[in-house]
Amino acid sequence: MSEDVPTPAATAPVGGPLAGLTVVELGGLGPGPFAGMLLADLGAEVVRVDRPVEAGRPSIFPVLHRGRRSVALDLKHPQGAQAALRLIDRADAVLEGFRPGVAERLGLGPETCLARRPRLVYGRMTGWGQDGPLAPQPGHDINYIALTGALHAIGPADGDPVVPLNLLGDFGGGGMLLAFGMVSALLRVARGGAGQVVDAAMTDGSALLMAMAYGFLGQGVWQDRRGVNLLDGGAPFYGVYRCADGGHVALGALEPQFYAALVDGLGLAGDADFADQGDQERWPAMRAKLTAAFAAADRDHWTGHFAGTPACVTPVLTMAEAPLDPHNRARGTFRTGSGGAAEPAPAPRFSGSPAPDPAAAPIVGADTDRLLRAAGLTADLIAELRREGVAG
């Protein structure tokens, strides 16, 4: 990586708009840790409770677990759950990603926690939500977005739905929704309100991300078929084209002035098929000619050709290329992680309380003794928990 890419901080983050808040994160995978990462990135002290069997090991999710403190406790053991409650007693918020009812069976449910700390914000991350006929069932991102219409809407008109990584359910409609909900509830507490439970379901969140598409559908300006609409690849001037070298460019020439710059830049301004951007009868012919045009030169040729123009043509960068892009480097969109690899930097930006540079993900259980002592447990009790395998 370039020397101007920031490197990880040596200690846990301080500063940021959420500085002074303490969050206890009860293990979990994917969207829950992503929510914890967002909160930690913005300055909250996030204490992650991991399993003792993993104690002493590096985190297997070095980006999602960055900026944390780590305590290793067996939450299935009554003493482990009690120790976790002592940590929660000192926290502003707790988040968990268990299936409905699991936290309650562990003695760590919201009723128990809120009774001990009424101003606590209790964030819950699930796929189907805390209620409803599917609530107890397992699932993954692809299942949640399938049930909300999102998966059906993504893909080519003549093909099957395309899996959009696990971005919509797990992260956009899951972890980010939970973080937003928890910050909203914390704001209410700061204004004198009581603590409460935040029920973040990936089905709800992925449906919410489809708000504009559902609005268009209700207006009759969106077809309930993929690959035939303005923003789903149906429009030839909003899509992806293969270049001579096998790379791709992305076109986003929606507005008339941007469309005109695209057509002019390709030397197609006098072509009758491009005279009316909204003439869907001409879209197949437009697509064929755009396909041929971009296939005639390499991706980097087109990147340079349209640089500085309003045609909305950008290269489709790989994950290895994106951190090296001049714009991304200038903004610090990526940073160098603890292992020397690129990772996304904290976002968004704050003018008065900038987010700190995240600390590296901790060794699992690295903060067990210190944080349990701070929560009021004696050294003898902590030693006993270690001997019994309850703490790591």
Please report the pLDDT score of residue 188 as a whole number.
98
Nearest residue to 141 via CA among 171, 182, 102: 171
Helix ranges restricted to H, the chain: 31-41, 78-88, 102-105, 110-116, 141-146, 176-190, 202-209, 211-219, 256-265, 283-294, 299-306, 326-331, 368-374, 379-387
In the residue annotation, 140 being an active-site residue is answered as yes
The residues pairing with 125 across neighbouring beta strands, listed in sequence order, are 200
The residues pairing with 47 across neighbouring beta strands, listed in sequence order, are 24, 69
Q: Is residue 129 a contact partner of residue 101, using CB atoms and an 8 Å limit?
A: no
| Burial bucket for residue 68 (CB in 10 Å: 0-12, 13-18, 19+) | buried
Q: Quote the pTM value.
A: 0.92
Q: How far from 242 is each of 88, 236, 288, 322, CA to CA, in Å?
A: 53, 13, 12, 18
Active-site annotation holder among 77, 140, 248, 305: 140
Please report the pLDDT score of residue 190 as a whole number.
97
* Phi–psi pair at 34, nearest 5 degrees: -65, -40
The residues pairing with 342 across neighbouring beta strands, listed in sequence order, are 336
Please report the pLDDT score of residue 13 as a whole number.
41
Active-site annotation holder among 170, 199, 232, 357: 170
Please report the pLDDT score of residue 9 as a whole number.
44
* Phi–psi pair at 391, nearest 5 degrees: -120, 150
* pLDDT tens digits in sequence order for the chain, 392 residues long: 334 444 444 444 458 999 999 999 999 999 999 999 999 999 999 999 999 999 999 999 999 999 999 999 999 999 999 999 999 999 999 999 999 999 999 999 999 999 999 999 999 999 999 999 999 999 999 999 999 999 999 999 999 999 999 999 999 999 999 999 999 999 999 999 999 999 999 999 999 999 999 999 999 999 999 999 999 999 999 999 999 999 999 999 999 999 999 999 999 999 999 999 999 999 999 999 999 999 999 999 999 999 999 999 999 999 999 999 999 999 999 999 888 899 999 999 999 999 889 999 999 999 999 999 999 999 999 999 999 999 99
Please report the pLDDT score of residue 2 as a whole number.
39
Please report the pLDDT score of residue 339 as a whole number.
81
What are the chain's domains?
A: 22-209+335-387 (3.40.50.10540), 238-324 (3.30.1540.10)
In the residue annotation, 170 being an active-site residue is answered as yes
